Chains A and B, each alone.
Chain A
């Protein structure tokens, strides 16, 4: 069974940093592009970042560009999101997501398997 388990969410002050992790299992992690998608409680979805299966390509939403860095560790079957200069508007539930097809990234990424998410709260 494909599983994605996020961790690292916390309460952090504005301007602070946080690192989210996502541990993947049940599929060949190295073959799939991965993404982070966030959702404010009771609100809509926002794509945050994505990274290709071979880590050669990474993309970011304009709202986080220059502040967030996505990375992956194939040996640990893990996806990461390093978040810095956090703002109140970054407060959200962060989902780790797997693409539906191996060896695809853009423009035909499909968000197939979602983790349960981890909550990030930015507040003083």
Chain B
């Protein structure tokens, strides 16, 4: 089943926020291959972090990832208005498929 994320997280411009992604020992806890995706309304998702804490070329270093046990986290530092979007985590599973998180709506106050 889907990885568990908070439905919403909010913060003021310049602040840091963290989004959690909780799975099980069969997915997040089994592999260091968690990725994170940002999706603005009406747009396709965009990968912002992969392999737990790597950023693709061109992605701001304000985005960072980490993992401890069965929980992965995405931190957005120096929050900006353009960061307002939906965020999804994803992981491979021992069932030989991939699973996404439930999604988190980030609001910039």
A interface vs B, CB < 8 Å?
35, 37, 44-47, 50, 59-62, 95, 100, 106-112, 114-117
Contacts of B103 in A (CB 8 A): 44-45
Give Cα A59–Cα B56 distance, bound, in whole angstroms.
25
B45 contacts partner chain A, Cβ-Cβ < 8 Å: yes
Output the least CB separation between A68 and chain B (Å): 12
Give Cα A109–Cα B97 distance, bound, in whole angstroms.
10
B interface vs A, CB < 8 Å?
2, 31, 33, 35, 37, 44-47, 50-51, 56, 88, 90, 92, 95-103
Q: Does the CB pair B50–A100 fall under 8 Å?
A: yes
Q: Does the CB pair A108–B97 fall under 8 Å?
A: no
A43's nearest neighbour on chain B, judged by CB, is B103
Q: Does the CB pair B44–A95 fall under 8 Å?
A: yes
Output the least CB separation between A70 and chain B (Å): 12
Q: Known contacts A45-B37, A47-B99; can you find 10 more A-B pairs with CB under 8 A? A: A44-B88, A44-B101, A45-B88, A59-B97, A108-B31, A108-B33, A110-B47, A111-B35, A114-B46, A116-B44
Contacts of B2 in A (CB 8 A): 44
Contacts of B50 in A (CB 8 A): 100, 110
Q: Does the CB pair B95–A46 fall under 8 Å?
A: no
Output the least CB separation between B10 and chain A (Å): 19
With A44-B88, A95-B44, A115-B44 given, is the CB distance from A110 to B51 under 8 Å?
yes
Instruction: Select one of B88, B92, B95 contacting A108, CB under 8 A.
Output: B92
Contacts of B44 in A (CB 8 A): 95, 114-117
Q: Does the CB pair B90–A111 fall under 8 Å?
A: yes
Q: List 28 A-B contacts (CB under 8 A).
A: A37-B100, A44-B2, A44-B101, A44-B102, A44-B103, A45-B45, A45-B100, A47-B97, A47-B100, A62-B97, A95-B45, A100-B47, A100-B50, A100-B56, A106-B96, A107-B92, A108-B33, A108-B51, A108-B92, A109-B33, A110-B33, A111-B35, A111-B37, A111-B45, A111-B90, A112-B47, A112-B56, A114-B44
